[in-house]
């Protein structure tokens, strides 16, 4: 996505999370997240607020040190709003501006502009599921870019770090509603999975499984399911 579309997408996702948190009751903050089993809602918001401050430091100060100050015990919604505002202001610059990132091949603000769209989209889904029980749509352009980000950034990084076992066989993913076609793994694909871009995106982040009528499998049906269960993303 170009910078303007990334900025608009990030604004949309943050606004949705802010609206949900404003309406959250005291009880809601201790809700368990089905998509992040070790976390309650307060943990997720603390994570996102920490990410805001981490990225601000990466851009303004050029380092990757994490935020040392823990989230507040109360007022998490306001703390989230404050961090989100500072994040948007900080990355609203030329994408080519130098910045520290965890991707050695892209040490620019453009990396963070893209990454934060997906950070907030995936976790917006988590918040919606926790608080309202259903999710609003992920736009096709965000989903398409998110599929590419997983394959371009996270799979190679996690393989290199030893956080992901070798992919057993190559699998091709094809979006049925966007010009997206990617391959996970090396060699000729043994299978193809075709589904809407948003479904592929959320499946790669293990928010859904690809088991409904919108998904078709060609070739080996066991390997792609095995690959999609692997920790391809954090």
Q: What is the mean pLDDT of each run of 10 residues along the chain (234 residues)?
A: 94 98 95 95 97 97 83 93 98 98 96 99 98 97 98 98 98 98 98 99 98 96 97 98
Domain boundary among 131, 166, 183: 131
137 in a structural domain: no
Tell whether 127 and 183 lie within a shared domain: no
Q: What is the pLDDT of residue 68?
A: 67
172 in a structural domain: yes
Domain boundary among 74, 103, 131: 131
234 in a structural domain: no
Tell whether 146 and 44 lie within a shared domain: no
Report how many domains make up the chain: 2
Where residue 193 sits, what CATH number does that domain have? 3.30.1050.10
Q: What is the pLDDT of residue 70?
A: 83
116 in a structural domain: yes
Tell whether 18 and 124 lie within a shared domain: yes
Q: What is the pLDDT of residue 66?
A: 79
Q: What is the pLDDT of residue 69?
A: 75
- Domain membership of residue 189 as a residue range: 142-229
Tell whether 183 and 79 lie within a shared domain: no
Tell whether 152 and 201 lie within a shared domain: yes
Tell whether 113 and 164 lie within a shared domain: no
Q: In what order do the strands lie in the sheet with 181-184?
A: 181-184, 171-175, 191-195, 216-219
136 in a structural domain: no
Tell whether 148 and 124 lie within a shared domain: no
23 in a structural domain: yes
Domain boundary among 98, 131, 164: 131
Where residue 123 sits, what CATH number does that domain have? 1.20.120.450
In this structure, what token pair is assigned to residue 141? 């352009």
């Amino acid at each position: 996505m170009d910078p303007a579309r990334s900025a608009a997408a990030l604004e949309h996702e943050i606004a949705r999370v802010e609206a949900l948190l404003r309406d959250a009751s005291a009880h809601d903050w201790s809700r368990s997240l089905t998509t992040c089993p070790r976390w309650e809602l307060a943990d997720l918001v603390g994570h996102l607020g920490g990410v805001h401050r981490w990225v601000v430091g990466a851009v303004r100060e050029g380092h990757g040190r994490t935020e040392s100050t823990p989230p507040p015990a109360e007022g998490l919604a306001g703390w989230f709003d404050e961090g989100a505002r500072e994040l948007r202001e900080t990355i609203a610059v030329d994408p080519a501006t130098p910045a520290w990132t965890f991707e050695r091949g892209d040490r620019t603000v453009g990396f963070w502009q893209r990454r934060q769209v997906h950070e907030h989209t995936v976790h917006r889904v988590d918040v919606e599921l926790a608080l309202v029980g259903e999710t609003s749509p992920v736009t096709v352009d965000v989903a398409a870019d998110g599929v590419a980000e997983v394959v371009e950034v996270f799979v190679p990084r996690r393989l290199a770090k030893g956080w992901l076992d070798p992919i057993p066989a190559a699998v091709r993913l094809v979006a049925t509603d966007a010009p997206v076609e990617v391959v996970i793994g090396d060699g000729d694909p043994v299978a193809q999975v075709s589904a809407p871009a948003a479904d592929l995106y959320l499946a790669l982040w293990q928010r859904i499984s690809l088991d409904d009528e919108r998904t078709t499998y060609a070739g080996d049906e066991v390997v792609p399911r095995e690959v999609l269960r692997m920790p391809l993303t954090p």
